[in-house]
Amino acid sequence: MRNSQVLAKSDGFINFGRQLLLIFLTTNPDMNPFFQQIIIDTVQKRLKEQGKIAKPEIVAREASALKVELSHLMKDSLLIILGILSASFGLNGFLLPNGFIDGGVTGISLLVEVVTGFSLSVLLVAFNLPFLILGSNTISRQFAVKSILAIIGLALVVHLVHYPIITDDKLLIAVFGGFFLGLGIGLSIRGGAVIDGTEVLAVFLSKKSSLSIGDIILLFNIIIFSFGAYLLGIEVALYAILTYLAASKTVDFVIDGIEEYIGVTIVSSFSEDIRLAIIDKLGRGCTIYSGKRGFAPRGERLKNTEIIYTVITRLELTRLKTEVDKIDSEAFIIMQSIKDTKGGMIKKRPLK
C-alpha cells in the first residue's frame, strides 16, 4: 500500500515536471524535433486515456492546440508574477509601513492588520479564500486555482521580501501605493486571475440581484471606508479613498479600459468550431450574423461569412482568446465595453 502511494506521488511529480518542460519548450518558435515529439507523445497518451483513435490528423490538431494552450499559460503566469511583485511593492513600500488602507479584500486585510497587528500575509489568504471557493463555482475551477496560487504568492512575497520605505509624504503614499497595487491587480487580471476577491463576490451577487457589478463593488468599499473612518480617523479614510481611486484607474488602464462585461465580435472562416467552443467550453451563448467580406476589388464577388457575437465577463476574456487561437489564430476579433446586461444567458448560467 505504501509503495503504491510512493509510486503515485512519484508519477505526480514526473507529470508536473513534464508539464513545466512543455511550457518552457513551446514558447520557442523554432522548436527542436525532439521536443516536438514530446508534445506528440503527450497528445497520443491523452487520446489513449480518452479511448480515442490517434489518427494523424487528430494528433496534429491536438498538438497544435496544446502548444497554443501552453504558450498562453506561460504568458499568463508571467503577467501574474509581475502583478504579485507590483502589488507587494505597493503594500510593503507605501501602504503598510504608514498604516494606510485600500478598498476591496486587500483593504479589509490592511484594516485588520493596522488595528490588531496580525500578519498581513495570513490575512490576505484567509479573507480571500472564501471568495475564491465561490469563484470556483461562479467563474471556473481553472480561474480559482490560478487566483489561489496568485494570492498565496502575494502573501509569501509580502512576508519574505522587504522593500525600502519610499516616502513619508501622505499624498505620495496614497497615490503611488494605489498605483502599484492597481498595476498588480490589473496585470493579474490580464493573466486570468485575481489577487483580490471583491470582483468574484460582485459577479456572484449581480446574478442574484438587480445591482450591477460596479454598484456592488462601490457599496462594498463604502462599508470598508466607513469602518476605516471610525477606527483610524477621517483623515486616514480620506487618503484610503484616494488610494482606491488611484488603484481602480490604474486597473482600468492596465486592462485597456475593459469594463465588467465585454461584447466580442469574431470573424473567422471556422465560425462553427468557434461557436461550439463558446457554448461547450465557456458555457456562454452567442449570436450568428450572416455577412460578407468587404475587402475585394471592384467587380469581384464578395465572399459570404458568418459573424459571431457573444458577451462575456472580463475575467473570461483570456480564456476566450485562448480557445479562438486554438481554432484560428488569424481570426478577426473586436472587443467593446458593455456596462451591464439583462436577460440572455450571461447571468443565468454558471461559467464552466
Can you give the pLDDT of all 352 residues of the chain as single tens digits?
Answer: 444 444 444 444 445 444 544 444 444 444 556 666 677 777 777 777 777 766 666 767 777 777 777 788 888 999 999 999 999 999 999 988 888 888 888 888 888 888 888 888 888 889 988 888 888 877 788 888 888 899 999 999 988 988 888 888 999 999 999 999 999 988 998 888 888 888 788 877 877 777 776 678 888 888 888 988 888 889 988 998 899 889 888 887 887 554 568 899 999 999 999 999 999 988 888 999 999 888 878 888 888 889 999 998 888 888 999 999 999 988 999 998 876 676 666 655 544 4
Calculate the alpha carbon distances from 269 to 290, 303, 305, 306, 319 in Å: 12, 11, 7, 8, 20
Sign of CA dihedral 310, 316, 318, 324: negative
Residues 6+ apart with CB under 8 A from 194: 135, 147, 150, 185, 188, 200, 315
DSSP 120-146: HHHHHHHHHHHHHHHHHHHT-HHHHHH
| Closest by Cα among 166, 177, 165 to 243 | 177
Q: Which CATH number fits domain 261-338: 1.10.10.10, 3.50.50.60, 3.30.70.120, 3.30.2310.20?
A: 3.30.70.120
Calculate the alpha carbon distances from 38 to 18, 32, 303 in Å: 9, 10, 40
pTM of the complete model:
0.68
CA separation for the pair 186, 227 (Å, rounded): 26
Cell of 39: 508534445
CA separation for the pair 142, 39 (Å, rounded): 22
Grid cell 505504501 is found at 2
* Confidence at residue 20, expressed as pLDDT on a 0 to 100 scale: 45
Whether 99 contacts 91, CB under 8 Å: no
Cell of 210: 438587480
Cα 109-201-129 angle, rounded to 5 deg: 50
